[in-house]
Amino acid sequence: MAAAPSAFGQWWRNLDKSAWVWVLAIVVLVLLVVNPLLRLLIVSFQQPDTGAYTLANYAAAYGRSRYVDALVNSLILGVSAASLCLVFGLPLAWAVSRTDMPGKNLVWISILGTFIIPPYLGAVGWILLAGPNAGWLNRLVVELTGMEKGPFNIYSMTGLVLVTACYSFPYVFVFTKSALDLVSSEMEDAANILGSGQLRTTLSITLPLVLPAILAAYILVFLEAIALFGSPALLALPGRFHVVTTQLWQFFEYPPKVGVAAAYSMPLLCITVFLFWLQRRVTRRKGYVSLTGKGGERRPIALGGWKWAMLGYCLAVCTLSFFMPMVVTCQAAFAKAWGRGFSLDNLTLDNLYFTLFENTLTRNATLNTFTYAGSAALIAIALALCVAYIVNRQLVGRHAGDLLSFLTMAPFVIPGIVLAIGFYAAYTRPPLALYGSAWILILAFATRFLPIAYANSNAAIRSINPELEDAVRILGGTRFTAIRRVVAPLLNRSLAGAFILVFIPGTRELSSAIFLSSINTQVLSVLLFDKSDEGNFEMLAAIGLIMVFITVVFILIGFRLMGRDFMLRRTAA
């Protein structure tokens, strides 16, 4: 058997030693994506204490009419909020993209601002505006009309729909505007020449062309709305009704009924997966893609006197979503007591100072927010980069590669709250008892935003000619030398951009954090939510402003690094 060691020796010598890193990446991917989902499914069929298989969880989850009502409420919320998003977003997109409306920059900036505000902070702003009795708008109406009681109540389904739409319509705007930007004037001219009026042309030519984009945005916004936790928790709970996400949260109140929660989260998961599948089909339909690219000439449509009406509408939408909530939030953050109104002697920096420096709870939460989001972004990008590299350089077979990219993109269709329940189910018990530690939050954030990291890494890796790496290897460098000396330096800018794109949502993530954080691992978003019970709105607003500030700073860094359309890459996921 003299041949055996030498055969092994040759095998060892010839082995690509970088292989273990790729194996490690795949293992991590399985731990982050597959295991939680699998555990979620298993736990939903298990007796909590014995582990025996049962359908009792499903019976418990759907056995009461209250629980079923919450499901229906989520659907109502999703459909109404998404429809309202169209009412808000479509005219704005059309006006900014196709007309000569003045003040486009102002509209743009306030929509960017709307993107920047975490939805739950918007909800806080709206509580200050339209809370029963004390809300600014109610007080204004009482003042003006002498009515006994203001008419607005934000703690209602209508209020919830409005607030949700206010912070989701930018998706509709961005999707539609990108599609409209591709419709050339010639296409519309062709219809005008045939005797079609401006309005008819818009409705019969332009609208169908951008319909797939609108449909895709509608689905996206619907899914956002039903997966949202923050605004419903702030508005629906005091309003004494439930949606799926708040109901899930209630299942987690002590003692947590993980099995029931898992069973109850299935419709949310299935609807999301199905609709994303539908969305991809819609956007892939070839017949619709008669958009001409950038070739065609584009002239803005002259609105005449209507342009002021249009601007008025745009500004009204921006006022609802951005100006009004931000003004009252800022007022509260800098007020001794927000109810005392806008006066100089009510002005103070105490709230911010207290939040940032004096209160250990908030100080630690701020620190945690940074560390967790930062670590999560690093992990997500490292992993995404590994997978993108494996897939693009075909280090594994084509089917294995497809599977890897599928797994990496899969969290995109998992609502954060469902992911959190999966993580809870997978990592509260040994051997991997992470619950209570920072790691479970970091890993959950990393998983949640893995698709963003992957979309960016993939584009980055694709931009590098593989021959650049081949040249390193043939000259005696290993794959790692190639990555360290050539790939990484060439990608550092786009990776920094990707880091920011993961870091920003990481600092504001609420829906998965709320299930996974404990006393010692609180982050700002969770703290903000916890404090909402106490009615200390000055402090809530201060925390919110700190988060907005963090976001703005990092977006500006992103602009510096990547140029103007850097934010849009997020939606490219």
Q: Residue 297: left if φ>0, alpha if ψ -120 to 50, beta else—which one?
A: beta
| Integer Cα distance of 311 and 565 in angstroms | 24
**Part of the chain binding another protein (CB under 8 A), chosen from 11-19, 135-143, 318-326, 400-408:** 11-19
Of 81, 359, 398, which is closest to residue 231 (Cα–Cα)? 81
The answer to whether 21 contacts another protein (rule: CB under 8 A) is no
Q: Between 208 and 489, name the residue whose CB sits nearer to another protein.
A: 489
**Part of the chain binding another protein (CB under 8 A), chosen from 230-238, 307-315, 449-457, 478-486:** 478-486
CB of 539 to another protein, least distance (A): 48
Token pair for residue 520?
């010692």
**Using CB under 8 A, which of 3, 193, 194, 474 touches another protein?**
474
The answer to whether 463 contacts another protein (rule: CB under 8 A) is no
CB of 4 to another protein, least distance (A): 14
With beta carbons less than 8 A apart as the criterion, state whether 66 and 74 touch. no
Q: Between 61 and 482, name the residue whose CB sits nearer to another protein.
A: 482
Q: Distance between terminal CA atoms of the chain?
A: 55
The answer to whether 397 contacts another protein (rule: CB under 8 A) is no
The answer to whether 465 contacts another protein (rule: CB under 8 A) is yes
CA 454 from centre of chain: 15
Q: Between 6 and 65, name the residue whose CB sits nearer to another protein.
A: 6
Q: Between 250 and 481, name the residue whose CB sits nearer to another protein.
A: 481
CA distances from 525 to 174, 349, 350 (A): 26, 21, 20
Of 128, 208, 122, which is closest to residue 166 (Cα–Cα)? 122
CB of 484 to another protein, least distance (A): 12
Got the DSSP string for 191-246? Answer: HHHTT--HHHHIIIIIHHHHHHHHHHHHHHHHHHHHH--HHHHHHTTTTT---HHH
The answer to whether 63 contacts another protein (rule: CB under 8 A) is no
Got the DSSP string for 115-137? Answer: HHS-HHHHHHHHHHHHSTTTSHH
CB of 18 to another protein, least distance (A): 9
**Using CB under 8 A, which of 2, 6, 13, 293 touches another protein?**
13
The answer to whether 402 contacts another protein (rule: CB under 8 A) is no
The answer to whether 493 contacts another protein (rule: CB under 8 A) is no
CB of 498 to another protein, least distance (A): 18
Q: What binding mask, one character per residue, do residues 257-296 give for another protein by CB under 8 A, x or -?
A: ----------------------------------------
**Using CB under 8 A, which of 203, 337, 468, 572 touches another protein?**
468
**Using CB under 8 A, which of 305, 475, 533, 565 touches another protein?**
475
Of 276, 176, 260, 178, which is closest to residue 226 (Cα–Cα)? 276
In DSSP terms, 335 is beta-bridged to 347
| Residue located via tokens 């990776």 | 495
The answer to whether 484 contacts another protein (rule: CB under 8 A) is no
**Using CB under 8 A, which of 14, 50, 65, 105 touches another protein?**
14
CB of 11 to another protein, least distance (A): 6
**Using CB under 8 A, which of 185, 202, 437, 481 touches another protein?**
481
The answer to whether 41 contacts another protein (rule: CB under 8 A) is no
The answer to whether 477 contacts another protein (rule: CB under 8 A) is yes
CB of 15 to another protein, least distance (A): 8
The answer to whether 486 contacts another protein (rule: CB under 8 A) is yes
**Using CB under 8 A, which of 5, 102, 489, 563 touches another protein?**
489
Q: Taking the C-alpha atoms of 246, 251, 254 and 255 in order, what is their torsion angle to the nearest 10 degrees?
A: -170
Got the DSSP string for 289-343? Answer: ----TT-S---PBP-TTHHHHHHHHHHHHHIIIIIHHHHHHHHHHTBSSGGG-S-
With beta carbons less than 8 A apart as the criterion, state whether 189 and 223 touch. no
Number of H helices, E strands in the chain: 29, 0
With beta carbons less than 8 A apart as the criterion, state whether 547 and 524 touch. yes
CB of 392 to another protein, least distance (A): 15
| Integer Cα distance of 412 and 449 in angstroms | 8
Size of the site for another protein (CB under 8 A): 23
Token pair for residue 254?
């002590």
Q: Between 145 and 394, name the residue whose CB sits nearer to another protein.
A: 394
Near another protein in 92-151, by CB under 8 A: none
Contact footprint for another protein (CB under 8 A)? 10-11, 13-16, 465, 467-468, 470-478, 481, 485-486, 489-490
